[in-house]
Amino acid sequence: MKREFPPVYLALILVAGCVLFRLLNNAYPDYVPNVSPLMALAFVGAMYLPSKWGWLVGPVTLLLTDLAFIKINALTDGSGSMFSWWTAVSFGLYAAVGGFGVWIARKKSLLKILTGSLICSLAFYVVSNTFSWYHDVVIGMTPGYPATWAGWWQAMTIGLPDLPPTWVFLRNGALGDLFFVIVLLFALDRGLLFGHEPSRTAPRPA
């Protein structure tokens, strides 16, 4: 009988691949697309890994990547700055995305997964832009966002002057997340992706 691929090995491969992609994107932005597989990994990975710990794959990958960035910065420009508040907010956000993935996995379908990916992209966009708006208001950056609901809406739509509209980042992020979701489904569950019987590539013990 064919032995099932151990989930922990699958998790290590997915995490290592995501960390490597983000590091390459940081080192070679002109050659590696400015999108990240992290959201797709947090969402889809939680569906196909054991539910007790699969929801942590996104937050753990985030922390490993940030640690690598800190080490690289320390060796290159000497900064080596510690984690920011945004890292803490992101950790909670990716943990919530993982929990959402576990919930979707109970009765998953391709439509639910693709719709869920768009929801996750929108959630990340709203949270990150709200954080950016709040950060500008608190430290008084110039030019910055007004400390009003109009300023918050500006952060959600057109952004700051002389910069691309923030909705462009939502579009690019959502398309990138969908791409990596499809890539992960192709690797983990071709049956679901192509409308056949679900595969058994990645079992989900409780």
Q: Which residues of the chain have pLDDT under 70?
A: 1-6, 32, 68-83, 139-143, 196-206
184, 45 contact by CB (below 8 A): yes
pLDDT at site 200: 46
- What is the rounded distance in angstroms from the CA atom of residue 20 to the CA atom of residue 86? 21
Contacts of 6 (CB under 8 A, 6+ apart): none
Peptide bond into 143 cis (omega under 30): yes
What's the confidence (pLDDT) of residue 197?
53
pLDDT score of 177: 93
CA distance linking residue 33 with residue 176, whole number of Å: 9
Q: What is the pLDDT of residue 201?
A: 46
- What CA–CA distance (Å, rounded) separates 63 from 66? 5
Please give the model's pTM, rounded to 2 decimal places. Answer: 0.81
Cα 83 → chain centroid? 17
Per-residue tokens: 171: 């579009």
Report the pLDDT value the prediction gives residue 73, as an integer from 0 to 100.
Answer: 59
pLDDT of residue 203: 46
Query: Cβ distance 175 to 31 under 8 Å?
Result: no
